[in-house]
Amino acid sequence: MTSGSPQPDLAIFDCNASLGRRHNERVPYHSKEDLLRVMSEAGIARALVCSPYAAAFSTMEGNQFLLDEIGDEQNLIPQFVVSFAVDAIDKVQEHTRRAGVRTLRVFPTTHAYPFVAWIADPWLEWMAAERMVLWVPLGWSPEVDIRDLYQTARRHPKVPIVLAGTHYSNYSVLLPLLKALDHLYVDLSRFDIPDGVRRLIRHIGVERLLFGSSFPDVDPKPYLYYLRHCGLDDSELSAICYHNLERLLSGGA
């Protein structure tokens, strides 16, 4: 087996991919066919995908573009991008219900609002009632102030929040944040630190860790190779690569 080949007996569910063109840069892959080919090459069975157009321009229009692009492809699961500050919650509720969408992603910094209770509370109360999951991007340029994230998330412990694109630059605040709030989950797609996964498992256990590809920015195969060779047992590997995300999407957090 080479570093670029998948592990045949490992089911993989990607928690962090996007689908569509970007307005500010060329990406190597942007179509459904591209994504499905990369998934097949990496041994990824299913992927949760959002629209870059929804993040950069129009949330509702971009979300519809995403649904149109996915079509009847059952292995691509749509995730809607919303603005807690601008979007009409009743319209988003109708759209998510009609499309069967179970997760939302927010970009507060990009959309120019703070992630604070007086903006986020109505959305998070609705999400708690519907047992939905929220994705909040971190990385080099976090989409939230960590202090706002802590204060708002702690008010809504029934809404699981996935810290998307978690990066080594977030490491200093990540461990205490995860310890303080047990409904936060970690997307490992950009978490490239020595023995990083084992450190997280020692700190919070394996149940809150998710594999993400960060497609199309990153080739998923090298990180999957790393996961298979960093000392995880079969149950830990399966939890990270598939079962934790499946449980979240089924409302079983």
* Residue 7, pLDDT above cutoff 60: no
pLDDT in the model for residue 2: 41
pLDDT in the model for residue 168: 85
Short-list 218, 119, 171, CA closest to 163? 171
**Which of 29-33, 221-225, 228-232, 238-242 has the weakest average pLDDT?**
29-33
CB 179 within 8 A of CB 151: no
DSSP state of 139: S
| 193 vs 70, more confident | 70
Name the CATH topology of 13-249. Answer: TIM Barrel (3.20.20)
- Sign of the Cα pseudo-torsion (249, 96, 140, 174, in order): negative
**In whole angstroms, what is the distance from residue 165 CA to residue 47 CA?**
15
Give pLDDT tens digits for 147-177: 999 999 999 999 999 999 998 888 889 999 9
- Range 79-102 average pLDDT: 97
Q: Which residue has the tokens 């590809």?
A: 213
CB 45 within 8 A of CB 12: yes
Q: Which two tokens stand for residue 76?
A: 């691509």
* Residue 211, pLDDT above cutoff 60: yes
Whether cis (ω within 30° of 0) applies to the bond prior to 216 is yes
- Range 21-41 average pLDDT: 78
| Element at 80 (helix H, strand E) | strand 80-82
pTM for the model stands at 0.93
**Which of 15-24, 43-52, 54-63, 224-233 has the weakest average pLDDT?**
15-24
